[in-house]
Structure 1
Amino acid sequence: MKWLYILLSLVGGMLAGLQAPINGSLGKKIGSLEGAFTSFFVGTLFLTFVALFFGKGQLVQLLQVPKWNLLGGLLGAVFVTITIISVPKVGAAAAILAAIVGQLVISMVIDHFGLFGVPKIPMNINRLFGLLFMLAALFFIYRGNAAS
């Protein structure tokens, strides 16, 4: 059953891959910060509807969570803004792969130390090789940009 979550994450990654060039195009037309704002505004409208009609009604618990739990939105806004700036300069593939490699690096640190309440999964040779292959992929994808 865990494979379902892998598949779901794969779809989420595909959506992020679509989001990057769409937002990059928007940013070129209206400005990077304006594009990021518009992207989050549309997302906020969508999530407001979903939360109101399909949520668990626990939004009042927001005042009880540790304040660092609220950083996710800020980090997401910075990520989207960086993507909007990067995609028109290096292309969707290089920008997204660089973002994935960055996510992989920090995720492996989080896993290794069991930070933020995730299960502790120590670094091992298989994970290290996976990271090295991703770095190699980033090198070749970026290098392929120069060929065109």
Structure 2
Amino acid sequence: MKWIYIFLAILGGMMIGIQSPINGSLGKKIGAVEGAFVSFFVGTMVLAFLVLFFGKGHITDLFQVPKWNLLGGFLGAMFVTFTIISVPKVGVAVTLLAGIIGQMAISVIIDHFGLFGMPKNRIDINRLIGIGLMLTALFFLYRGSE
């Protein structure tokens, strides 16, 4: 049953893969920060619709959450902005793999120390080799795009 979540994660990754060149093109036309703003504005409108008609949570509890929980929006905005800046310069594949490597590097640190209330999962040689192989792939993707 957990495979559905892996499938959803793959689908989300594919959406990021499609979103990146679209946002990169938008950013070249209207500016990187402006492109990120438009992207988040459209996303905000879609999410407002979903919350209004399908939301079952407790959005009114927003003011009770720890303030650090609100950093997700800031971090997402920075990710989209950095992607918009990078895609036209190094391409979609290199940009996204570099982003995934960044995600994996910070995620193993978060797992290792159990940061943000996550369960601990120690860094081991297998995880380090996995990141090393991703760095190797990045090297070859970048070299192949020059």
TM-score under structure 1 length normalisation: 0.96
Partner of 2:104: 104
Question: C-alpha displacement at 1:91, in angstroms?
Answer: 0.3
1:53 aligns with 2:57: no
Deviations 1:38-85 (A, max 9, x none): 000000000000011111241110000000000000000011000000
Instruction: Summarize the alignment of residues 32-111 of structure 1 with structure 2, pairs less than 5 Å apart.
Output: 32-111=32-111
> Aligned AA for 1:20?
S
Give the secondary-structure state (helix, strand or coil) at the position aligned to 2:143.
helix
> 1:84 corresponds to which letter in structure 2?
I
Partner Cα distance (2:110, 2:53) in 1: 34
Task: Determine the C-alpha separation between the residues in 2 that align with 1:77 and 1:133.
Answer: 28
Give 1:38's aligned amino acid: V
Could you give the per-residue CA deviations for residues 71-125 of structure 1, whole angstroms, max 9, x where no partner exists? 0000000110000000000000000000000000000100111111222111112
Alignment correspondent of 1:7: 7
Q: Which runs of 4+ in 1 moved over 3 A?
A: none
| Residue aligning to 2:127 | 127
Cα distance in 2 for partners of 1:12, 1:70 equals 21
Tell me, in whole angstroms, the C-alpha distance in 1 between the residues paired with 2:54 and 2:45: 14
Deviation of 1:3 (Å): 2.1
TM-aligned CA distance change 1:57 to 1:108, over 3 Å: closer
Partner of 2:24: 24
Q: Residues of 2 paired with 1:6 and 1:124: CA distance?
A: 22
Q: CA-atom RMSD, angstroms?
A: 0.8
User: How far has the Cα of 1:2 moved from its partner?
Assistant: 2.1
Give the number of equivalent residue pairs: 146
> In 2, Cα distance between the equivalents of 1:81 and 1:56?
30
Structure 2, unpaired ranges of 5+: none
